[in-house]
């Protein structure tokens, strides 16, 4: 479960979660509560909950459906706990026959900051004979744990030519990040505008892992979710300690303001100006199609755009994807008539709407909503998500500057 959905388990107490985790599925009124319980225990800090999660990984079967899913979630929860005592159990889970559990174990070990011994590295390399997603996780672990190993270097280099971009992209990122082979990243740039959404997303992730500062502009212009691009952007600038450079500061602002007019588009993603077509594309699973609809909203005449926003506001404002794009458009087009929606978006604390808070903060700057400065200041200091915190820091500074200029006039 993505961490932004933690709200779904916060109503479950630790004691209830502990009782559900190892219960026989036949005795549970809602079987899904068992794996929700694992996620809930991942949020706990007690010794008892840690021991229970460790026990679940060792004891639960991979044969019964809810046992298997609960075991996977327990492995994932141990990664969130980041307790070094979980490492032996997670390493043991690498030997199981459940691919998803193996991938979760690898990712959890990365989150904990595992320092694998030579035998552990051999075990990881042996997993490269599995499914593509498992192979990708193994290679990503090498990159993110900065594993330097001669056998890994040669084996993973050979995988740069793998037929799956999930494998080859991760392998290229490893060679670039650990051994400086940034030349191997060239095929990832055209992949950022591939017609297949999954290939675009994997390229964004791989460039983030690779840490090559020279690829930031390509990343910024990719028609991929802003939040995914932002994560990779911060990964790259952190690796190079370059976030404060003027060029990267400008690129990051361009990424976070997320104007669809700055993205690289193909004709397949263009959207007609018809309101129904715009609405259908905003609901599409492919982010490039969503951006195509947003681009139409940027280019359509103001009155029609406002009518579309009005219509969608009444019916779809609760949909967090639509919520985000409409908030973006209101700010980018400076629709003062809709400033109430900007205020509402900035105040929205449900995790799924965090992206909308970024769009709302930029809109506050464009619309000069000085009455929101207290909240923006608070978010600039306390927002958990770094892109939101960074955005509010920039917006706050400029609102103060604008306010001072207005006083001088």
- Cβ neighbors of 287 (< 8 A, separation 6 or more) are 197, 223, 224, 225
pLDDT range class, residue 131, cuts 50, 70, 90: very high
pLDDT score at 9:
74
* pLDDT at residue 10 is higher than 70: no
pLDDT range class, residue 304, cuts 50, 70, 90: very high
- In this structure, what DSSP letter does residue 317 have? T
Contact (CB, 8 A) for 112 and 177: no
- Write the DSSP assignment of 280-296 as a string of letters: HHHT-SSHHHHHHHHHH
Burial class (CB in 10 A: 0-12, 13-18, 19+), 380: buried
pLDDT range class, residue 136, cuts 50, 70, 90: very high
Answer with the residue of higher pLDDT: 403 or 304: 304
The pLDDT of 269-289, averaged and rounded, is: 94
pLDDT score at 1:
41
Gap between the Cα atoms of 318 and 353, Å rounded:
9
pLDDT score at 66:
95
Domains and CATH numbers, the chain: 1-114 (1.25.10.10), 267-408 (1.25.10.10)
* pLDDT at residue 2 is higher than 60: no
Gap between the Cα atoms of 67 and 35, Å rounded:
8
Gap between the Cα atoms of 34 and 341, Å rounded:
39
CB atoms within 10 A of CB 70: 29
Three-class SS of residue 113?
coil
Task: Report the candidate in 381, 374, 319, 326 with the shortest Cα–Cα distance to residue 350.
Answer: 319
* pLDDT at residue 21 is higher than 70: yes
The pLDDT of 338-357, averaged and rounded, is: 95
pLDDT range class, residue 314, cuts 50, 70, 90: confident
Please state, for a pLDDT cut of 70, what percent of the chain lies above it.
97
pLDDT score at 130:
86
* pLDDT at residue 3 is higher than 70: no
Gap between the Cα atoms of 64 and 67, Å rounded:
5
CB atoms within 10 A of CB 310: 11
The pLDDT of 323-340, averaged and rounded, is: 97
pLDDT in tens, 171-185: 999 999 999 999 999
* pLDDT at residue 106 is higher than 60: yes
Q: What global pTM score does this model have? A: 0.93
pLDDT range class, residue 67, cuts 50, 70, 90: very high
pLDDT score at 6:
62
């Amino acid at each position: 479960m993505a961490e932004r959905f933690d709200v779904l388990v916060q109503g479950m107490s630790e004691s209830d979660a502990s009782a559900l985790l190892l219960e026989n599925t036949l005795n549970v009124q809602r079987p899904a509560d068992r794996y929700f319980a694992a996620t809930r225990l991942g949020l706990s800090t007690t010794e008892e909950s840690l021991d229970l999660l460790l026990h679940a990984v060792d004891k639960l079967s991979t044969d019964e459906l809810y046992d298997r899913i609960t075991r996977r979630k327990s492995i994932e929860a141990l990664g969130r706990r980041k307790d070094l005592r979980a490492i032996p159990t997670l390493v043991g889970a690498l030997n199981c026959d459940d691919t998803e559990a193996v991938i979760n174990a690898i990712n959890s070990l990365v989150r904990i900051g595992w320092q694998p011994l030579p035998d552990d590295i051999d075990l990881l390399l042996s997993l490269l004979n599995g499914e593509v997603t498992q192979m990708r996780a193994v290679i990503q672990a090498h990159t993110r744990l900065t594993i330097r190993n001669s056998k890994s270097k040669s084996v993973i280099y050979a995988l740069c030519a793998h037929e799956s971009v999930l494998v080859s992209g991760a392998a290229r990122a490893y060679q670039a990040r650990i051994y400086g082979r940034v030349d191997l990243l060239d095929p990832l740039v055209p992949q950022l505008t591939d017609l297949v959404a999954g290939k675009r997303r994997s390229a964004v992730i791989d460039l983030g892992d690779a840490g090559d500062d020279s690829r930031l502009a390509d990343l910024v212009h990719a028609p991929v979710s802003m939040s995914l691009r932002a994560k990779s952007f911060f990964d790259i600038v952190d690796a190079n300690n370059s976030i404060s450079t003027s060029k990267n500061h400008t690129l990051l602002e361009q990424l976070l303001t997320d104007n669809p007019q700055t993205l690289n588009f193909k004709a397949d993603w263009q959207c007609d100006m018809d309101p129904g077509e715009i609405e259908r594309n905003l609901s599409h699973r492919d982010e490039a199609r969503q951006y195509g609809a947003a681009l139409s909203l940027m280019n359509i005449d103001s009155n029609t755009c406002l009518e579309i926003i009005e219509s969608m506001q009444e019916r779809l404002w609760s949909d967090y994807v639509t919520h985000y794009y409409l908030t973006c458009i209101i700010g980018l087009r400076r629709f003062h008539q809709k400033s109430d929606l900007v205020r509402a978006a900035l105040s929205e604390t449900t995790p799924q709407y965090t992206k909308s808070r970024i769009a709302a903060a930029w809109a506050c700057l464009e619309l000069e909503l000085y009455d929101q400065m207290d909240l923006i200041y608070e978010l600039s200091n306390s927002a958990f998500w770094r892109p939101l915190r960074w955005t509010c820091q920039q917006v706050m500074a400029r609102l103060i500057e604008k306010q001072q200029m207005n006083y001088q006039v």
